[in-house]
Amino acid sequence: MKMYLISDNVDTYTGMRLAGVDGVIVHERQELYDALQKVIKDPSIGVVLLTEKFGREFPEIIDDIKLQRKMPLLVEIPDRHGTGRKKDFITSYVNEAIGLKL
């Protein structure tokens, strides 16, 4: 299975291309929707990497695909500006999921 990147900036796209990951740069809501529709029709793509900006700006598009489809796996990645998440994101996520404080 292949990975595919949908990015909002050239730097992330260029870095992933150097690592051998194909992708596309989009900026608008409709462009993101169209790119995702194209990707989910390709059975060879197992993981779609999305810059975190899309998760913040268009969560309904991302969440809809995550909830309705098993494949491909959608993974939000930080872009060149870093992550928008707080430092203990993973710990607090696990705490909420299992109800135990780590």
pTM of the shown model: 0.75
Q: Which long-range contacts (CB under 8 A, 24 or more apart) does 69-75 make?
A: 69/40, 71/46, 72/4, 72/39, 72/40, 72/45, 72/46, 72/47, 72/48, 73/46, 73/47, 73/48, 74/48, 74/50, 75/47, 75/48, 75/49, 75/50
Fold of domain 2-98? Rossmann fold (3.40.50)
The domain locations on the chain are 2-98
68-100 tens-digit pLDDT: 888 898 888 876 655 655 666 556 656 666 766
21-71 tens-digit pLDDT: 999 999 999 999 999 999 999 999 999 999 888 888 888 888 888 888 888
pLDDT of residue 77: 84
Is pLDDT at 101 greater than 90 in this prediction?
A: no
58-69 tens-digit pLDDT: 888 888 888 888
